[in-house]
Amino acid sequence: MPVISLASVKGGVGKTSALLALASDLAVSGSNVVVLDADPNGHASRIGARMAKRLDGVAFAALGGITEANILASIKKARTEADYVLVDLPGVSSKLTLLGLARSDLVIVPVQASEMDIHDALQTVENVKQAGEAADKTIRACFLLSRWPITIESRAAKETRKRLQSKAPDVAVLNTPLMDRTAFKEMTFNGAPPRLVEPGGNAAANVEAIRREVLALLGVEVEDAA
């Protein structure tokens, strides 16, 4: 089943936060989800374990210890078991990252509103292309505007959208940004998906809109069990 990776050569852009928000929302919506944590800092698997406890009775698992040696086998196995496999890739270009990209059906590249983020996001897209060439297939990528201001869009935010579209016209920018919200920080402490904390709240609606866009890119028709 589809493999969705979160990737950026830049650290701190919100890969792990976006991954956990999306993964938990997919699980709460009735899909069987496996998170593979390929970042040696182990945040996705540590917080994912908390999330799994919160998601009692829901098919959600987060596995750590993904390395260069086992990433291909781990993705292969997870694909056979899960409806969606979400892979948290390290914030560097490495063999591990390249292997993870090569096995992805969609790569989500979070970008904050800054020139530095745009630069590194474009580099990440180049890495995705290279992985695609190595695997002899086209790997789809999209930008996710990340840690986005919830108030009116700043000049930097508008400029970021504009530059991404002009510099990488073939890579979609998701319409819905992942907003900068305390709910996404709280999720890291308690492992609670926003949709369980406040169903119908702003954070939950934000993640749901992103989930729908991501599934549309994968060509999946959205039918919620919830």
Ligand X SMILES: Nc1ncnc2c1ncn2[C@@H]1O[C@H](COP(=O)(O)OP(=O)(O)O)[C@@H](O)[C@H]1O
Out of 3, 9, 14, 120, the only residue in the binding site for ligand X (CB under 6 A) is 14
Listed ranges 49-57, 65-73, 164-172, 174-182: which one lies at the site for ligand X (CB under 6 A): 174-182
d(CA 106, CA 55): 25
Binds ligand X by CB under 6 A, chosen from 2, 3, 9, 16: 16
Among 12, 30, 65, 201, binds ligand X (CB under 6 A): 12
The one segment of 13-21, 76-84, 97-105, 121-129 that binds ligand X by CB under 6 A: 13-21
Q: What span, in angstroms and rounded, lies between the C-alpha atoms of 37 and 110? A: 17
| Closest residue by beta carbon to Mg ion | 16
16 binds Mg ion (CB under 5 A): yes
SS3 5: strand
To which H or E segment does residue 4 belong?
A: strand 3-6
Please report which helix (H) or strand (E) contains residue 60, including its range: strand 60-63
- 180 scored as a contact of ligand X (CB under 6 A): yes
The answer to whether 213 touches 44, Cβ cutoff 8 Å, is no
List binders of ligand X among 61-100 (CB under 6 A): 91
